[in-house]
Structure 1
Amino acid sequence: MTTDTVDFTRDIYSENLVLNIRPPHDGIRPSIAGISIYSRGSEPYESSRERFISIVLDLCYAYQDYAIWLLVGTEAWQRDSRILRHQKLTGLLRKNKVDLSQFGKVEEVQISSEYGLKFFVAVNLTKENIGDAFNIVLEEKCSYVVVGREMTNIMDFLKAGWIGKLYLDSKLVLVSAENDSVILKAFDDKSNSERGVTAIGNPLLIQSLFDRFQ
């Protein structure tokens, strides 16, 4: 048996139950709302999947001229090597039988430093393959789904980078706000038997999700 819970905040930078994140250092606080919708207990996988799909579709209808992106990255620095530079993240995932190109157009950037290499990938999804991508979103910890306008510059997200933890990905959150997009993070916390999704972004869109699920 599962119990549905909805946490909502109109300002993610204030004290709330959705997300604890520090405001930007420059003092400018963009208007960003947040919502977490989840179940406690043994929720079936299909129920979680259908919830995620319905949230994404709701956002698509709100934007109308929408775009859906699956973001996948490397959380830790990888040891620099010729093979890794050739394979990149898409190649490493393909070795694990995850072929991102099946979903649509793939964009990938590589970041180098004294610590090694990091890779960030964005895949353009459609409404028809959101469900197929859900398992990747759930299993790949360094991943998000972004829903925004068709003209969203996804390269801004790739250059910002991320580690897959919203409270630490403040740069990605700001880029999303600048692009009037919504970031979605699926989670499966086995320690608390909680499975659900957190969404942050445009206050009007997040409010509409809250009105639907409360």
Structure 2
Amino acid sequence: MRSHHASLVLHRLRARYPAPRTQLNWTTPWELLVATMLSAQTTDARVNHVTPELFARWPTPAHLAQAELADIEGVIHSTGFFRAKARHLQATARILQERFGGNVPQTMAELLTLPGVARKTANIVLSNAFGIHEGIAVDTHVKRVSFRLGLTTATQPDRIERDLMGLFPRPTWGDLNHYLVLFGREVCLARKPRCTACPLADICPRNGVPL
């Protein structure tokens, strides 16, 4: 049964990653929200390279709301899609000031009203900043690894998320994202998965993996 398979996957990944955490550097919910928004289409390392200056210059939504858009673009330029990201960040900062007292909201519905915030970002913020598990963040690593492991046959993030939510206990949803991301970066690589060094090799159907 797929539920038993999922339980084995969870047990082994938990043993491999006993203290999982996001690779983005942050100290407040606002910083995590910003870093996660910046992480689209780039690496966590690149985001971590630009956020120290970003957070030093504009440490709160109130500060960023008043910044010059060109200045924001200049700081985040290397993360790619910098114009759209800068617009979304500033618009989000202004909404947080106007509607939420300068605080990051703690519900999925409210987070999804913020420009540039979809379920993946909202799930990451809720889980890591507030310990609230509304869903499972699905990025390229989660999508790839969950398919290869036979946890889902879906290709759309929302369908993948629903499949995973049905297989794993709610308290594990936040950690599951970390497990699959870390495993996707270290073992289940996109181009050349390290199947011979995989601790899940005996239970993995290797869906989509070239022979």
TM-score by length of 2: 0.29
Higher share in strand: 1
Higher share in helix: 2
Q: Which has the larger radius of gyration?
A: 2
Higher relative contact order (CA 8 A, sep 6+): 1
TM-score by length of 1: 0.29
